[in-house]
Structure formats: structure tokens, C-alpha cells
Amino acid sequence: MNNGNNVTANLDGVNLPSLSGLNVTNTPPTSVCNTTKEVSFVQINLQKSKIASSIVSSKTIEWSSKPLFIALQEPWLLKGGTIGNRPRDVQIYAAPNSRAALMVTKDLHTWAMSDFTSQDQAVCMWNTGNNEFPKIIVSSVYCDIKKPMISQELSKLIDFCNVNSYPVILCMDSNAHSSVWHCSENNARGDDLEEFLLQGCLSVANLGSHPTFQTVRASSIIDVTCTSDSISDRIKDWHVMHETLGSDHYGISFKLSITQFVPKQVHDWKSTDWSALGSILARRSHSWHPSLTLSQHVLDAEVDSINADIIDALDKTTRSVTIKKRVRKNGWWNEDLNLLRKRMQDAHKKMGIK
């Protein structure tokens, strides 16, 4: 800085990238901090129903008041095998023509695990930011009653988690009965799953005897939530949802209490008052005097001083905001459409249409 006029001239018409060489953007745009909070989970088998898929999609807006995972089994698919009725602002993990899928709000730091994902199993890794459990594996699993209880993909996933000490959360339509998840009696599939959970150091989170699947002919508890023993005590408020979601399966809801990444306040660069910024730097430049000697140490100190002045000036002239990534409500949806949809669902039930 030689004088205030030079500073003003250098800033005239400048945009943020031109300042990046001075390290004013060293702080990542999505700076995060740790805080203890609850992450919500919902799991449900949609029975490939377009109506159920639509209901869950609209409910996602309400459920995503907290960071949210939704584990789907038998979702409704579009032609081409992709998930239908996809809510906005969620990340979806699923194979083509999948019978298992995960929907995750974007405020959760997740990425796909393709090596463990198949038509009947969707898997993602969640970077929690928690020192005790920095990474947690989340999976939606559909267990085909016509196939062996434990698939190769599921066995491979649990082996991987145990070898690497990654806690795992499994949201399953097991098609199996066991007294461990409060069925009245076991069947062979239930016995096989019990043994698998015991060997894999997994716990069942299910509470109570409310059925998770119910028709006019029968009811049963076949939807199961399993977690690694290491995080089983972090599961809170596990319950079967009583609201109608358009499927013969009830939804399951629970929360995981864990420290995780949440956004801090970040700069809104569009709000920067460049004139005020130039004035602040111009005033500071008047008190600057060049060093009588030049060395690497002196030059480094000068660069650090300039960086500190620019960052401080940006802090004072730029508005800070908190980024919130939540599922946005569809602007066209209203209460009249909600009532019409309910009437349509009632009519479909009377006609036996799913």
C-alpha cells in the first residue's frame, strides 16, 4: 500500500476472485462447527405406490425441520427405473430399478457407496463431524421373501463396517418374524436374521408391539431398524408412525443424537460495500511505512499484515448469513389440493387400488 488513492484504484470494479490471490478466501465458503443435535430418520415401504410416494414427498417438507434421512423400500419408479416424486433439495442414493433407496437432506455431509449398493440395498456414508463417530454408514434394505434372508451385499457391508469400526444404521423391510422385534413368534427367516445380527454386533431398535404392516386380512412386524451396538444408546424416540402414508406399511420414525457438522455464518459477497471497504483500507494505508530492510521474514510479515487488513475490512463491510439447506415447499400446493388428494385416496381404498 503506497497511498489511499492507489488502494481505491485497485479496488475499483474488483470482484471477489481478484482478491483470492491475497488469501482473503482461505476460509471455506461452508465453514462448519460442531454442535450436539438430533438427526431425524424415517423408514417406510411404499409398495411401489405412486400415491404413497407423493404423500411421502410432500411430508418431506415437514419432516426436514431437522437434518433428515428417509429410507425407502419398494419406491415408485418412473420409466427408466429412476425414483419418482423426488422432493426438491434432497440427495438420492439408489441403483437403477431399485427396491431400496435413501433420500438425504443436503445439510448432511454424505456420499454414495456404490460398491455396496444394489437393487435391494442403498448405502451412503455420512461424515458426522463427531470425534467419537466421525463416519456412520446408513443403509436402506429390502429383503425379498423369495430370496435368502441375508444377501451377499448385506453380509459384505456389515463385514466392511466391522473391519473399519464404522457404526451402521440399517432400515430394513425384513419380511421376517422374531420375538426380538416383538413378533408373537419366530419363523426361519427371523432365526437367520437374529443370528446375523448377533454375529455382526448389531442391535434392534424396535420398541413395542404395534404392527408395521397391516391389511384387512393380517398384520405383522416386519420392518426393522438395526444399529451397531456402539450407537444403539444414541437412538431416541423410536416409534411406529400412526399417520396414513398411502401404504399398507406404517412409517417408522426415530432420531439419532450425535454431534455433527452444522453451517456457521458465512459472508454474502454480493452485499459487500466496496466503497466503504476502499475507504477503510485507504485510512490504514496512511499509517503504513516501508521497512528499511528487505528479507523473506519482512516480506512474509508485510503480506500477513495486508491479508489481515483486507479480511478485517471485508468483515466490517460484508453482511453475514447462515446457510440453511431445507426442502422447499412447492409454491403451487395448497389446502384445497390436500383435501382433494385425501378424497382420492379414500376412493382408491374403496376400489382396492394401490
284 and 199 in a common domain: no
Is 288 part of any domain? yes
Torsion angles phi and psi, residue 348, rounded to 5: -65, -40
User: Could you tell me the CATH number of the domain that includes residue 205?
Assistant: 3.60.10.10
pLDDT in the model for residue 12 = 41
295 and 237 in a common domain: no
* 171-218 pLDDT tens trace: 999 999 999 999 999 999 999 999 999 999 999 999 999 999 999 888
74 and 16 in a common domain: no
Is 170 part of any domain? yes
Is 307 part of any domain? yes
Q: Is the pLDDT of residue 278 over 60?
A: yes
116 and 255 in a common domain: yes
- Region 65-93: mean pLDDT is 91
Among 311, 314, 321, residue whose Cα is nearest residue 263: 321
107 and 96 in a common domain: yes
Long-range Cβ contact pairs of 346-351 (< 8 A, separation 24 or more): 348/51
195 and 67 in a common domain: yes
254 and 129 in a common domain: yes
57 and 21 in a common domain: no
Strands 235-240 and 223-228: unpaired
pLDDT band at 8 (very low <50, low <70, confident <90, very high): very low
Is 42 part of any domain? yes
pTM of the model: 0.68
283 and 140 in a common domain: no
* 264-277 pLDDT tens trace: 677 888 889 999 98
Is 22 part of any domain? yes
**In this structure, which amino acid lies at residue 18?**
S
270 and 259 in a common domain: no
> What's the domain count of the chain?
2
309 and 200 in a common domain: no
The whole-angstrom separation of Cα 152 and Cα 150 is 7
Q: Which domain holds residue 187?
A: 33-263
- Weakest-pLDDT range from 76-85, 163-172, 295-304: 295-304
161 and 212 in a common domain: yes
